Structure 1
């Protein structure tokens, strides 16, 4: 479950980024079907949500989790994510991984193996 101030924006972002479908809508929650039958991603409304800071800074809001997605073409996947509303921060700790921020500011990674 991921908290967000606007669940429609974040659910649409991840659905379009990964090709997932919206499985269920409830008051304050949208659940995405990851297509594997064993896991779901829920986006929960939190009116008091505070965006994490990337890279982390002592005394500032820390990320609670981050999602990693393997891709075949890193540059194309980054461009796709940015086109959907992700931000590409300047700080990138690895050459074969790109840290991005989703529309609510949660860091997530795209990587190649």
Structure 2
């Protein structure tokens, strides 16, 4: 069975209601490994509304809370760097060492955000 990636709206997984999916292929073999649910207009509207609500809540949180969240996010990226690199390899065809470099560059950006 092919894995399906659904939507993430309002902090939870939401199955795509449109019934349409796009393939994700393994660049090495061309085989379809995953399908991504395409969003309906209603799902896009729900995602935008959830993002607006999250933005409001984020803006009302203290600097200490936001900083703590960013540092926890950075720690999770660092702890899972090998797994993330594996996903990059599977979806983009990069060799693992190059994918690890992509993750390291991402961590540098998160470091910058934490420092700001």
Q: Would you say same fold, with TM above 0.5?
A: no
Q: Decide which structure has greater strand share.
A: 1
**TM-score, with length taken from structure 1:** 0.25
Question: Whose Rg is larger?
Answer: 2
**TM-score, with length taken from structure 2:** 0.25
Q: Decide which structure has greater helix share.
A: 2
